[in-house]
Structure 1
Amino acid sequence: MNDALRRDLAALVVPQWGRLVETGDRYEPYRLIDPDGAAVEPVTVYFQELLAAGIAPSTVRSYGMDLLRWWRFLQAVDVLWDRATRREARDFSCWIQEAVKPRKIKAQGPGPRAVRGAGAANPVTGKPSTGSGYAPATVVHSETVLRRFYDVHRDAGTGPLLNPFPLDLSRRSGRAHAHHNPMDGWRPERVGRYRPSLPRRIPRSIPEAWFNKLFAALPSNRDRALVAFWISSGVRVSELIGMRQRDVDPGQQLISVVRKGSRAVQQVPASADAFVWLRLYQQEVQGQIARGRTQPVWWTRRDPIRPLTYHGAHRMFERVNASLGADWTLHDLRHSAAARMVRDPMLTLSDVQWVLGHAHLSATEVYLTPHKDEVVAGVLAHHARQARESIQPAPPPPAPGYDPASLDVLFGRSS
């Protein structure tokens, strides 16, 4: 390769150019703006394409963060977005895998804060730290978003004729899943050339003992109701936060949620305890929040009282985790609910699939993988049984006149 075409990515300084802002407009919930406050028009057009396809605003925000990183990289290498080539895409893919992720400085509370390096496991949950860089899932997500962004502009004639983020050479022809065996799992068929491999992740659930400690540390009836619904129904964070007062049916122990993928309204059963905590919360805020079938169920606890947001719920759970020294996430509650249901012999796997809202049964099968703690405890119990059997004395010989074979049948010792 010509050395003149190589960039020194180690010395590359990527500026904090522009930002993604929330507008409050349902027809344009997010906007990518440059340092002068002007909207980045190619990204605005792409956001409109996403919204027209029924993509949720939270997904638009996620895509916007990927595009913001790409635009900042283009500023650093001094290349216009519609002049980007596969060289820029390749360099960006290399850079994001090694770059230090910019973080907001948060006020540190009282007491010492543990600092973990990359790969160091949390002493409570066992989760490894991602360190100072971008998570592998973020790198993969960025490649997918940018490839689709350039596909849209290529089809509209407003972007480069060749997508800077191409498909892998072995996946560029043929229809996706053309020869899929319905008995096999679903695998990605459209793999990008600059898409790194992701390790297979096993869903991590919260052990029962630690969940009880976590639930006891929740400071309010609102938070207890939220966690009780998440752990018993298995719905996603955004699905529960988006509930309206008309979506609660205590008599049938059902809640109605809008599914993230299909946007279909589905009734999901929840535990009786969750409805009890909800009723206690409703009694506390009676007269303080707006009432009505279309009003939100969940509200902030501090003035000014306003509807609870996705990020507000995450911050609540982060504070509870910090008090225990743990780093579980709200999505781990969904994993925990699925693991509990899968372990119940009276529930079929298709029942759990329906409750979780999975499109394919293979997505639910991952919860059949046993938890590490369960496997360790089971194997240790096996070793203990083997030790007891090895030291157990042999039965004494029968008294004269008794047939040993008849005694084996009598006492159930025969095979």
Structure 2
Amino acid sequence: MLETGGLSRDLINFVLPQTGALVEVADPAQPYVLLDADGAVVESVSAFFAELQACSRPPATMRSYGMDLLRWWRFLHAVEVEWHRATRSEARDFARWMAIAPKPVRTHWRGHPASAKVRPTAGSLAGVPNAVTGRAGPGLKYAVATRAHCETVLRSFYDFHLDAGTGPIVNPFPLGRERRRLPSTAGRAARSSPGGRYRPSVPVRIPGRIPDARFDELFAALRYNRDRALLAFWVSNGVRAEELLTCRQRDVLPGEQLLGVVRKGTRAYQQVPSAVDAFVWLRLYQEEAWRAGVPRGPGRWLWWTLRPPFRPLTYHAARAMFGRVNRLLGSNWTLHDLRRTAAYRMARDPKLALTDVQWVLGHAHLSTTQIYLPAGRDEIVDAVRAHQVRQAGGAGVPVVPATGYQPDSLAELFGRAW
């Protein structure tokens, strides 16, 4: 337990207790419930989840918010403070602890730490840039984006109960001072921007993508036609991993080069254009799968495991497949990098309107699509290298001053022979 009382809490030696749990239940009206240290359902979190569902948030959002709330509930259990009696002192210490604490090691279902089953690869050390991708692997501490997301979730949770009159009269996670000083006439964008006092600044990064040469290496390392079809679809139409994996066999229209997907956010059905080679690899995979005994029919799943007993392919299984290829190449690409690669290729095509790219990617706002317009890291590095070569090649070329300037006067001022 932590000692109570401001700065007297020992945050360095504090270990978050693994009490409580976020449990998925087979109830469409309540997909997830949070259990406290005694195994009882936390009703205040269930009410917050009901609000999220009323706001058309998908179950995946509830799970994401629930994991942050579970971390906060464990912290409150350690400091022996009820959630409705939490003050700014607990919120501040929680933000400080997340900034310095190491991430807990998950326990595998067989009993050993989850990290023990991961074979080390080149660049897999925490925080060390990968030799192939140039991207640093996950660090030993909580990422800045994780801390920022957690602060936003907890502030929203207490704002909900503050409006409902069921929580503390003051939000433990306040807004930043700068935002509260804005006048009422300030623009909506300025006043609605994230501004939690304990929210860390998240650096703006260029969306990562897989260069063409690296993608060819990645594609060549695949062993099965199913995996080749998956990557061909992901890199051509840019759909999310979950959207592609939940397709049915009736959603494939090879004659029109269309693939029907259910969008993650709106749950709307949309047919997106895909490359010809993606349908070729898909047909090769289907012929192999049907001969092996994979269920066949318009309403059946499109993607299945490769070995019996055949089961629909899940996101975690697809991620494991991608991880095996990464270990072979010594890289650390992610499935979402395939969507970013497709978005970058389409956004950089001058003959393709950006609004068309927005429609294919399923972005609600054009500003989200515009982040793929700047050149990637590799293009920027190549451009700067070319600039340096040009500078080195032109070092001996004499510089002629513009008309009206005397070379002697310039030499006297700048100490250079013109």
TM-score scaled by length of structure 1 = 0.84
TM-fit CA distance, 1:142: 0.6
**Are 1:106 and 2:114 counterparts?**
yes
Of 338, 349, 369, 1:333 maps to 338
**Larger deviation, residues 249-258 vs 373-382:** 373-382
After superposition, where does 1:195-234 map in structure 2 within 5 Å? 195-234=199-238
Gaps of 5+ in 1: 393-415
Q: Secondary structure at the match of 2:98?
A: helix
TM-fit CA distance, 1:126: 0.5
**Cα distance change, pair 11–126 in 1 and its aligned pair in 2 (3 A):** same
After superposition, where does 1:283-322 map in structure 2 within 5 Å? 283-286=287-290, 288-322=293-327
Match of 2:374 in 1: 369
TM-score scaled by length of structure 2 = 0.83
Of 252, 264, 269, 2:268 maps to 264
Of 82, 95, 105, 1:80 maps to 82
Of 131, 146, 150, 2:158 maps to 150
**Larger deviation, residues 287-296 vs 212-221:** 287-296
Q: What code does the residue aligned with 2:44 have? A: P
Match of 2:147 in 1: 139
Within 1, Cα distance between the matches of 2:353 and 2:104?
A: 45
Q: Secondary structure at the match of 1:11?
A: coil
**Cα distance change, pair 85–292 in 1 and its aligned pair in 2 (3 A):** farther
**Cα distance change, pair 129–110 in 1 and its aligned pair in 2 (3 A):** closer
Q: Secondary structure at the match of 1:9?
A: coil
Spell out, residue by residue over 1:344-373, the C-alpha distance to the aligned partner (whole angstroms, 9 max, x if none): 221122222222122222222221221222
Within 2, Cα distance between the matches of 1:281 and 1:176?
A: 60
**Are 1:255 and 2:259 counterparts?**
yes
Spell out, residue by residue over 1:258-278, the C-alpha distance to the aligned partner (whole angstroms, 9 max, x if none): 222333222211101111111
Within 2, Cα distance between the matches of 1:189 and 1:280?
A: 49
TM-fit CA distance, 1:118: 4.9
TM-fit CA distance, 1:138: 0.7
Match of 1:342 in 2: 347
The number of aligned residues is 387
Instruction: Decide whether the 8 Å contact of 2:122 with 2:131 is kept in 1.
Output: no
**Cα distance change, pair 217–382 in 1 and its aligned pair in 2 (3 A):** same
Instruction: Decide whether the 8 Å contact of 2:34 with 2:45 is kept in 1.
Output: yes
Within 1, Cα distance between the matches of 2:185 and 2:229?
A: 42
Q: What code does the residue aligned with 2:341 have? A: S
Within 2, Cα distance between the matches of 1:71 and 1:129?
A: 28
TM-fit CA distance, 1:159: 1.7
Instruction: Decide whether the 8 Å contact of 2:123 with 2:130 is kept in 1.
Output: no
Within 2, Cα distance between the matches of 1:325 and 1:174?
A: 49
TM-fit CA distance, 1:203: 0.4
Instruction: Decide whether the 8 Å contact of 1:14 with 1:75 is kept in 2.
Output: no
TM-fit CA distance, 1:61: 1.4
Match of 2:49 in 1: 47
TM-fit CA distance, 1:391: 9.2
Q: Secondary structure at the match of 1:257?
A: strand
Q: Secondary structure at the match of 2:259?
A: strand
Spell out, residue by residue over 1:55-101, the C-alpha distance to the aligned partner (whole angstroms, 9 max, x if none): 22222211111111111111111111111111111111111121111
Spell out, residue by residue over 1:31-67, the C-alpha distance to the aligned partner (whole angstroms, 9 max, x if none): 3223554322222222222223222222221111111
Gaps of 5+ in 2: 107-112, 398-418
Instruction: Decide whether the 8 Å contact of 2:161 with 2:167 is kept in 1.
Output: yes
Q: Secondary structure at the match of 2:303?
A: coil
Spell out, residue by residue over 1:148-187, the C-alpha distance to the aligned partner (whole angstroms, 9 max, x if none): 1122222333222222112223334889996369xxxx99
**Cα distance change, pair 388–178 in 1 and its aligned pair in 2 (3 A):** closer
**Larger deviation, residues 112-121 vs 31-40:** 112-121
Q: Secondary structure at the match of 1:367?
A: coil
Within 1, Cα distance between the matches of 2:282 and 2:217?
A: 20
Spell out, residue by residue over 1:214-265, the C-alpha distance to the aligned partner (whole angstroms, 9 max, x if none): 1111222221111111100011112212222232221111112222233322
Within 1, Cα distance between the matches of 2:35 and 2:384?
A: 56
**Larger deviation, residues 60-69 vs 167-176:** 167-176
**Larger deviation, residues 304-313 vs 35-44:** 35-44
Match of 1:404 in 2: none
Instruction: Decide whether the 8 Å contact of 2:123 with 2:137 is kept in 1.
Output: no
Match of 2:414 in 1: none
Q: Secondary structure at the match of 2:32?
A: strand
**Cα distance change, pair 364–286 in 1 and its aligned pair in 2 (3 A):** same
